[in-house]
């Protein structure tokens, strides 16, 4: 449902646009366009250069494009027809009553929404609300919930400067750039009351009153509400609570999580939304459970009496598989934030702080652990892959005395991806032809996916090659522009046009740079790696992208080492690093590479989803047996496994063994398979591409994932035990 301010803004844009195209204004304010049938071209065709300049922001595009251009398009009957058809699809999508949820859930479960809390959301490129996989997963969750007709409302924060823009200097060292975003130019709307004033929640942070206004993002049938403290009536320090995602110091991080949890629950109350359930995506939102308790205590009972009621209304997803990765705050830092709050809960300071104690019953020396709080205050919890669930049960068994580790109540729901967002139109068109005209709504049907074998090898390979050529052209342009920005010599700038080769084996590696992800494992033995990449008869090339956290010096050095290695004369055109990794670059990569490489130290990868996106586009995974790949890998069928399932505490020994395994796979299996071609087509390779699609796509998607959350987590406890039948089509 659109807010009155959204309707007013749409009307403003419509007044600028000639009648046949006025539907573009309506589309611009709902992120549904980003996974629609025309998502790559309906706005891009207005003005390609401006579309790129505004970071794929349809509102800014329509506000700034010359009226003459819009008039020109209004006179183009083909473009007008495309707009009319897309608007009709959109309006039908919004009103459709026959959805998976309506067919599979009791009517009373459709009346109140599930409130989904996350610190980040990777919805569309232009919204500065994400940094990496957690945000992409959260947004894909909401997109599939919309497609399935599941009533969900999202809660998050809106960051004035987002995460950061990445640039590399001459030495390959990462520089962080923090632009200020103009929220009034984004596809979002400020929520207002009947008097036109911004809807505002008020919180006490330390001894200050902090006000946060609420913005609305429309994601298909779903509304996402984002809190923003950048207001003139806040003190300067509080305006920057929502300044940067994962920015600032520990105190800023605590303030953000206080705002997300407590402010998020109050925002729902202010909006008149009464959730049936609260889903906490990671521990960042755990304070929400305390605000739910406080509100319940206003009408009934003590904290101990309402605590079971809170638990019955909260579920929790934990991702991080190492204790050090969970948000913890020193007790003397927590105390000033909650001095007034534990009194409202009727708790002593010690009882309050014990809610975040990882080892109940021990002396109060431990820092306050957000995951411990979430686990104690939620009825159900899950990891995000089978291995992650097992790891989390071991890690958090300390909270469950006298319970065997295997019986610790933390389950697992393996992550998936929103296939409509990540599948290239060129490949989706093949699915329409050979699988099902409406393949996207049948994505969990394994029998449908068996039909990929009927796709002619030459047709699949031709389309894959087109996507790879587009990726290489895009990569060359990005490298050229980066060299121009750095002021490199003219010959170096011109040489960007010769980078990479569309006819050789192309590996992709892109993700958040962190030491456990081992982004430079492939260069562990520099000489052997150079021999592989520079082989004159069967060469290899690699495209790398990813950001290191601004405070993570070691990960910045990993990027720098890769850049330095790529300057060697043998591999100068064979390994390139694309700056400022974002959703758009991710789409280009997962749609265009031959092999997706993933090299974490097992078992530190909670799940991972980038390799799943690759599979939807016919790419093949080569990965450590960690996260989701443990479940998906079929030896000799759909990809390659680096190393084995043994975990070695000696990281040097493990790194050496895994690097050796990777080199051997490349030399004896991957490269020979790719270059075994007849008339330019590697038939054995194409069969593995099809196997990748056939075995991965039916399960590793967010339609299946959201249905699993419904059946295992969202339904009332007596319904969960029944495990409602899942029919996705």
- Cβ neighbours of residue 40 closer than 8 Å, sequence gap 6 or more: 425
Predicted local distance difference test score (pLDDT) of residue 721: 40
Task: Please give the share of the chain, as a percent, with pLDDT higher than 70.
Answer: 96
pLDDT tens per residue across span 224-260: 999 999 999 999 999 999 999 998 889 999 999 999 9
Predicted local distance difference test score (pLDDT) of residue 725: 31
Mean pLDDT along residues 424-430: 97
Most confident of the ranges 15-19, 185-189, 321-325: 185-189
Predicted local distance difference test score (pLDDT) of residue 50: 96
Predicted local distance difference test score (pLDDT) of residue 10: 78
Q: How far apart are CA 726 and CA 330, in angstroms?
A: 44
- E strands, 297-402, are 314-317, 328-329, 368-369, 380-383
pLDDT tens per residue across span 293-310: 999 999 888 999 999 999
Predicted local distance difference test score (pLDDT) of residue 644: 86
Q: How far apart are CA 505 and CA 566, in angstroms?
A: 17
**What confidence tier does 499 reach under pLDDT thresholds 50, 70, 90?**
very high
Mean pLDDT along residues 319-340: 86
What sign for the dihedral angle of Cα 395, 396, 400, 406? negative
Q: How is residue 259 annotated by DSSP?
A: I
Predicted local distance difference test score (pLDDT) of residue 419: 98
CA dihedral 375, 214, 584, 685 (to 10 degrees): 30
- Cβ neighbours of residue 713 closer than 8 Å, sequence gap 6 or more: 279, 315, 380, 382, 413, 720
Predicted local distance difference test score (pLDDT) of residue 9: 72
Predicted local distance difference test score (pLDDT) of residue 472: 98
Mean pLDDT along residues 210-223: 98
Please give the structure tokens belonging to residue 662.
Answer: 């990777």
Q: How is residue 293 annotated by DSSP?
A: H
**What confidence tier does 727 reach under pLDDT thresholds 50, 70, 90?**
very low
Mean pLDDT along residues 448-460: 98
Whether residue 360 is predicted with pLDDT greater than 90 in this model: the reply is no
Whether residue 116 is predicted with pLDDT greater than 90 in this model: the reply is yes
Q: How is residue 125 annotated by DSSP?
A: T
Predicted local distance difference test score (pLDDT) of residue 18: 80
416 Cα distance to chain centroid: 10
- Residue 585 · residue 545 · CB < 8 Å: yes
Among the ranges given (35-39, 359-363, 386-390, 523-527), the one the predictor scored with the smallest mean pLDDT: 359-363
Domain ranges of the chain: 4-95, 421-700
Whether residue 510 is predicted with pLDDT greater than 90 in this model: the reply is yes
Please give the structure tokens belonging to residue 199.
Answer: 């809807």
Phi, psi of 401 (to 5 degrees): -65, 145
Geometric angle at alpha carbon 573, from 570 and 574, rounded to 5°: 80
**What confidence tier does 634 reach under pLDDT thresholds 50, 70, 90?**
very high
**What confidence tier does 324 reach under pLDDT thresholds 50, 70, 90?**
low
Give the three-state DSSP class for 350: helix
Predicted local distance difference test score (pLDDT) of residue 327: 87
Q: How is residue 681 annotated by DSSP?
A: B
Whether residue 729 is predicted with pLDDT greater than 60 in this model: the reply is no
Q: How far apart are CA 702 and CA 168, in angstroms?
A: 34
Among the ranges given (224-238, 266-280, 391-405), the one the predictor scored with the smallest mean pLDDT: 391-405
Give me the CATH topology for the region 421-700: Rossmann fold (3.40.50)
Whether residue 291 is predicted with pLDDT greater than 50 in this model: the reply is yes
Mean pLDDT along residues 150-166: 97
Q: Which residue has the higher pLDDT, 645 or 145?
A: 145
Task: Please give the share of the chain, as a percent, with pLDDT higher than 90.
Answer: 88
pLDDT tens per residue across span 7-19: 667 777 887 788 8
Mean pLDDT of the chain: 93
Predicted local distance difference test score (pLDDT) of residue 646: 78
């Amino acid at each position: 449902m659109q807010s009155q301010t959204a309707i007013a803004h749409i009307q403003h844009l419509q007044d600028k646009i000639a009648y046949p195209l006025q539907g573009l204004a309506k589309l611009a304010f709902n992120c549904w366009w980003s996974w629609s049938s025309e998502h790559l071209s309906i706005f891009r065709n207005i003005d390609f250069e401006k579309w790129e300049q505004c970071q794929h922001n349809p509102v800014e595009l329509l506000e700034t494009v010359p009226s003459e251009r819009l008039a020109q398009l209004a006179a183009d009957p083909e473009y007008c027809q495309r707009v009319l058809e897309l608007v009709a699809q959109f309006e039908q999508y919004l009103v459709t009553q026959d959805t998976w949820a309506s067919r599979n859930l009791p009517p009373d479960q459709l009346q109140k929404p599930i409130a989904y809390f996350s610190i980040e959301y990777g919805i569309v490129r232009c919204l500065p609300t994400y940094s990496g996989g957690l945000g992409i997963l959260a947004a894909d969750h909401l997109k599939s919930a919309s497609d399935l007709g599941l009533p969900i409302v999202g809660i998050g924060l809106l960051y004035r400067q987002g995460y950061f823009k990445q640039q590399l200097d001459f030495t390959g060292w990462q520089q962080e750039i923090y632009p200020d975003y103009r929220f009034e130019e984004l596809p979002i709307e400020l929520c207002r009351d009947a008097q036109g004033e911004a809807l505002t929640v008020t919180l006490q942070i330390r001894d200050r009153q902090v006000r946060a206004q609420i913005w609305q993002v429309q994601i298909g049938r779903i509304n996402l509400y984002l809190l923003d403290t950048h207001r003139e009536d806040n003190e300067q320090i509080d305006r920057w609570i929502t300044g940067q995602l994962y920015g600032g110091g520990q105190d800023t991080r605590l303030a953000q999580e206080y705002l997300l949890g407590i402010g998020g629950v109050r925002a729902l109350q202010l909006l008149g939304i009464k959730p049936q359930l609260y889903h906490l995506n990671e521990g960042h939102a755990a304070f929400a459970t305390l605000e739910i308790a406080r509100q319940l205590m206003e009408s009934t009972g003590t904290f101990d009496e309402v605590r079971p009621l809170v638990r019955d209304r909260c579920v929790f997803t934990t991702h991080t598989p190492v204790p050090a990765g969970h948000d913890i705050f020193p007790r003397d830092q927590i105390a000033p934030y909650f001095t007034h709050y534990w009194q409202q809960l009727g708790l002593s300071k010690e009882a309050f702080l014990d809610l975040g104690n990882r080892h109940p019953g021990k002396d109060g020396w431990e820092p306050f652990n957000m995951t411990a709080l979430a686990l104690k205050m939620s009825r159900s919890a899950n990891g995000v892959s089978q291995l992650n669930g097992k790891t989390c049960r071991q890690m958090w068994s300390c909270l469950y005395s006298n319970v065997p580790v295997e019986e610790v109540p933390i389950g697992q729901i393996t992550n998936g991806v929103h296939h409509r967002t990540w599948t290239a139109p060129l490949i989706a068109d093949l699915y329409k032809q050979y699988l099902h005209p409406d393949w996207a709504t049948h994505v969990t049907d394994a029998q449908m996916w068996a039909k990929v074998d009927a796709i002619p090898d030459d047709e699949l390979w031709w389309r894959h090659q087109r996507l790879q050529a587009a990726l290489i052209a895009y990569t060359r342009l990005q490298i050229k522009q980066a060299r121009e920005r750095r002021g490199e010599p003219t010959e170096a700038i011109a040489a960007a046009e010769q980078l990479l080769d569309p006819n050789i084996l192309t590996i992709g590696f892109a993700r958040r740079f962190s030491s456990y992800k081992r982004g430079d494992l492939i260069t562990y033995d520099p000489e052997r790696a150079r021999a592989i990449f520079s082989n004159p008869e069967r060469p290899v090339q690699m495209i790398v992208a990813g950001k290191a956290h601004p405070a993570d010096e070691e990960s910045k050095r990993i990027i720098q080492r890769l850049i330095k290695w790529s300057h060697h004369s043998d591999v100068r055109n064979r390994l390139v690093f694309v700056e400022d990794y974002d959703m758009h670059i991710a789409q280009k990569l997962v749609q265009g590479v031959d092999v997706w490489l993933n090299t974490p130290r097992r078992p530190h990868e909670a799940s991972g989803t980038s390799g799943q996106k690759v599979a939807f586009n016919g790419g093949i995974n080569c990965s450590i047996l960690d996260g989701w790949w443990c479940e998906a890998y079929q030896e000799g069928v759909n990809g390659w496994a680096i190393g084995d399932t043994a975990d070695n505490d000696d990281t040097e020994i493990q790194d050496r063994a895994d690097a050796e395994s990777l080199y051997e796979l490349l030399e004896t299996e991957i490269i020979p398979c790719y270059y075994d071609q007849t008339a330019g087509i590697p038939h054995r390779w194409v069969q593995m591409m099809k196997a990748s699609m056939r075995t991965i796509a039916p399960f590793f998607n967010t339609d299946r994932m959201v249905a699993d959350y419904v059946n295992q987590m969202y339904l009332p406890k007596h319904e969960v035990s029944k495990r409602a039948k899942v029919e996705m089509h």
